[in-house]
Amino acid sequence: ETGVTQTPRHLVMGMTNKKSLKCEQHLGHNAMYWYKQSAKKPLELMFVYNFKEQTENNSVPSRFSPECPNSSHLFLHLHTLQPEDSALYLCASSQEFDFYEQYFGPGTRLTVT
């Protein structure tokens, strides 16, 4: 999975901690995405960036803060999370919007204690 990489792969944090998830794509794509995957639920789109500009914020709580410094990197800053935020966080990229398929990273398994 060298196309889209995510670090760390696993993260355990307390509710008062601040941490960041990192995503990097090596595919020359222009769009990047954050998804949340919880057990028994469909993937939830959180944020979309196109050419470094945020184009969609899917009613995500402010304790999640995205950052996209360039088209290859995407961060998700976390602070004062809740136990229900424990999930697999997936990053994806695509050439552009429209009909281009998305390529996913392996995800960060987040546990909030």
Contact footprint for other proteins (CB under 8 A): 1, 4, 6, 40-43, 45, 48, 50, 55-56, 58, 90, 92, 97-99, 101-107
Q: Give least dist CB 15 to other proteins, A.
A: 25
Instruction: Name residue, tokens 């789109």.
Output: 45
> 85: helix, coil or strand?
helix
Residue 3 or 61: the one with the smaller Cβ distance to other proteins is 3
Residue 14 or 51: the one with the smaller Cβ distance to other proteins is 51
Residue 97 or 111: the one with the smaller Cβ distance to other proteins is 97
Contacts of 104 (CB under 8 A, 6+ apart): 4, 90, 91, 92
- The residue among 86, 90, 91 whose CA lies nearest residue 74 is 91
